[in-house]
Amino acid sequence: MVGEFVEEYNTVRLHSSIGYIAPKDKLEGRAEQIHAERDRKLEEAREQRKRNRQLRKNQLTKRGEVGQHSRQPVKRKRARTLGVRLQECNLPKRRWRRR
């Protein structure tokens, strides 16, 4: 049982003190390769998010929604921050009850 734990600890578990790499990988010299692969994946994810944001912005521009508020009703708190009069929001008046 202890042997299984030691094996898992040294080959599978990622250690924060050595850059979230298993000690076996660090000793075998794969640390730089692992870090390079992580950096490549992170850069791909950044580029994908950038493309998605640009695509979303283009879609909104085509529909004429950029710079406008959504078509959903504005909530009271949001209306105050936007400087919109509450009467324009078509919201019912709040009724406060004392307890």
Q: What percent of the chain has pLDDT over 70?
A: 62
Is residue 90 scored above 60 in pLDDT?
Answer: no
Which pLDDT belongs to residue 32? 94
Average pLDDT, the chain: 77
Please state the separation of Cα 11 from the chain's center in Å: 30
Tokens, residue 8: 């898992």
Give the pLDDT band of residue 82 (cuts 50, 70, 90): low
Report yes or no: 47 and 59 within 8 Å, Cβ to Cβ: no
* Local structure of residue 19 (DSSP, 8 states): T
pLDDT at residue 56 in the model: 85
Task: Look at 56 and 6; give whichever has higher pLDDT.
Answer: 6
Count CB-CB contacts under 10 A for residue 19.
13
* pLDDT score of 68 more than 70: no
Residue 18: CB atoms within 10 A of its CB come to: 13
The pLDDT of residue 13 is: 93
Please compute the mean of the pLDDT values over residues 26-35 and round it to a whole number. Answer: 94
